[in-house]
Amino acid sequence: MKKTFLPILMLEIILLGTFSSTIVLADSSVDPTAGDDFDQKVNSLLDNKGYSGTLLVVKDGKPIYQTSRGYSDFYNGIYNDKNTTYEIDSIQKSMTAALIMKQVQKKRLKLSDKLAKFYPQIPGSKKITIRQMLDMTSGLVLKGDVGPDKVMSDSDIIDNDIDNIKFSSILYNKWFYSPINYNLLSGILEQVTGKSYRKLFTHAFIKKLDLKHTIFAYDEKPSLQKANGYNNIDPLSARLDYKNAYYTKRSFEFDELGTGQVYMSAADLYKVEKYILTGSMLTEKSRKELYKPGSSSTYGGGLYHGKNDNFANGWGYGFQGVVHMSNNGKNGVIVLENYSRIAADVKPTAKQIYQLLDDEN
């Protein structure tokens, strides 16, 4: 992903203990019967991490824990809260995969269709199937960043990327994480349906599920708070000081077509992932086909699949997000963070919380 950060000079230095305040939502949306022991364990994990974002934990279909910490906009003194939207980055791939499978279900597309049917100019396209692209086993590699450095239409963004795509016969049929697969899948969706990816996404998720806190990166709504992304100049520093806010070029907000251009609240993200895993969008047969791992990796259809654990993570532009969901969608951990750094990777913490949730059963 393209990443640029802009140092912001602060008038005063505020110690971590001062500004990492926790806002625990004790409203009717959180089950009051949840145990204090669970809360204490989660709070301890977050305290040790230096966390800035929103965490939602759902058990048996009910929110049992929700907290927001840190700043959405440090410079203007705006805190993160339950309605703050965060860039979900690669977690969006799970939604793009579901949109693809919906078209397969409608018989407008086959998983065995070759990429050459849509983009014959791409090297190796006569061998590569839709299935392989969903599973990241296509052998496609993009030289450089996704997308151009200026605002373009979806089709022009893809045409720009095609000029930089390489096909590796060594990687073909082997798992290799390459976001260009999902950029191309978005383009295929547009060719098959005659509609923009944005319209497809909006109809399938935002309107269908009445999402109030979901927005594309390039859009603005006065009623929605989009968190700023933060990081440290030294990625190996875990310090949380909000001195380095990411500055994202306008073009970057369009480039991540189908792979990371959406902001969501934790509650909206849970609602969408549950809908994809268990709702009416896909049949059970379609889901089994979509989520069948296609390689040595457990990756399939935009999610990794463990024992009763379907998970995804995204990282970029100062954000990090992790989702863990049970097969029936009733248990879930949604972690959205707007202060990412390698030294404080939130993935292990999210997994620990999901395991704690499993221990509660």
pLDDT at 51: 94
- 3-class DSSP string for the chain: CCCCEEECCCCCCCCHHHHCCEEECCCCCCCCCCCHHHHHHHHHHHHHHCCCEEEEEEECCEEEEEEEECEEECCCCEECCCCCEEECHHHHHHHHHHHHHHHHHCCCCCCCCEHHHCCCCCCCCCCCEHHHHHHCCCCEEECCCCCCCCCCCHHHHHHHHHCCEEECCCCCCCCCCCCHHHHHHHHHHHHHHCCCHHHHHHHHHHHCCCCCCEEECCCCCCCCCECCCECCCCCCCCCCCCCEEECCCCCHHHHCCCCCCEEECHHHHHHHHHHHHHCCCCCHHHHHHHCCCCCCCCEECCEEEECCEEEEEEEECCEEEEEEECCCCCCEEEEEECECCHHHCCHHHHHHHHHHHHHHC
Query: Is the pLDDT at 138 greater than 50, yes or no?
Result: yes
Query: Is the pLDDT at 211 greater than 50, yes or no?
Result: yes
pLDDT at 148: 77
Q: What is the pLDDT of residues 231-269, one digit of tens each?
A: 999 988 999 999 999 888 888 888 889 999 999 999 999
Query: Is the pLDDT at 338 greater than 80, yes or no?
Result: yes
Q: What is the pLDDT of residues 74-121, one digit of tens each?
A: 999 999 999 999 999 999 999 999 999 999 999 999 999 999 999 999
